Amino acid sequence: MTKLIGSKKIKTAVFISGTGSNLKNLIKFSKKRNSPISIDLIVSNSSKSKGLKYADQFKIKKKIFNFDHVTNTERKILIQLNKYEINFICLAGFMKILSKNFIKKFKGKIINIHPSLLPKYKGLNTHERAIKNKDKFAGCSVHYVTEKLDSGKIIMQKKIKIANKDNSYSLAKKVLKQEHKIYPASIIKILN
Ligand code: GRF
């Protein structure tokens, strides 16, 4: 992986679809001295993503693409990534699946946060499934993105206990808190 050279931060794009709490957290992290990344572009597949407000708040360029035609969309995204000299991508609640071709172009340079202890519960509704299965533990994972969904090498995980009274909402909240810790820590781990 590209390592931090001198004091130059690695230009990074964050891809989102929803609330953007991880995005906000990564933006705050990126402004710290020990952060190896700067966030230079926010990509969303929907103009309705609440997280887009952080682009305005922190004066970061944002681009919205509808994924009606994946190949065309990815071509357009690549043009923007080139334009802003992006060298690293963080997926943060991004709900679209990127193509094999796209991932190949950024091999080893795309990471994702997933709200489960991978390889358990790939895909959606992780908390519902953990509760339904009466699991004792839940957690989150940061991993490299490969063409196989939620299957790339794990960079960092955090395990938490599921309380008897937890439901999928309370669990999501607890896990999200941990996500905000391990996403920056993972970036430091692989880039510093
Ligand atoms: C997080 O739980 C993340 O792990 C998952 O989607 C959620 C996004 O939350 N992939 P937010 O938009 O960062 O608040």
Q: Confidence band (pLDDT; 50, 70, 90) for 1?
A: low
Closest Cα to atom 5, ligand 1: which residue? 93
pLDDT at 2 over 80: no
Using a 6 Å cutoff on CB, does residue 92 contact ligand 1? yes
**Interatomic CA distance for residues 3 and 190, integer angstroms:** 8
Using a 6 Å cutoff on CB, does residue 21 contact ligand 1? yes
Does this model's pTM top 0.85? yes
Closest Cα to atom 7, ligand 1: which residue? 93
Could you tell me which of 48, 37, 47 has the C-alpha nearest to residue 14? 37
Superfamily for 7-107? Formyl transferase, N-terminal domain (3.40.50.170)
Helix (H) / strand (E) containing 81: helix 70-83
Q: What pLDDT, on a 0 to 100 scale, did the predictor assign at position 41?
A: 98
Q: Beta 110-114 vs 137-144: how paired, if at all?
A: antiparallel
Domains 7-107 and 113-192 share a fold: yes
The ligand 1 atom nearest the CA atom of 114: 4
The ligand 1 atom nearest the CA atom of 51: 12
What value does the mean pLDDT take over residues 83-90?
98
Q: What pLDDT, on a 0 to 100 scale, did the predictor assign at position 44?
A: 98
Condensed to tens digits (0 to 9), the pLDDT of residues 111-139 reads 999 999 999 999 999 999 999 999 999 99
Q: What pLDDT, on a 0 to 100 scale, did the predictor assign at position 5?
A: 54
pLDDT at 183 over 70: yes
DSSP type of residue 165:
T
Q: What pLDDT, on a 0 to 100 scale, did the predictor assign at position 14?
A: 99
Condensed to tens digits (0 to 9), the pLDDT of residues 25-51 reads 999 999 999 999 999 999 999 999 999
So where are the chain's domains? 7-107, 113-192
Using a 6 Å cutoff on CB, does residue 19 contact ligand 1? yes
Q: In the annotation, is 180 catalytic?
A: no
CATH architecture of 113-192: 3-Layer(aba) Sandwich (3.40)
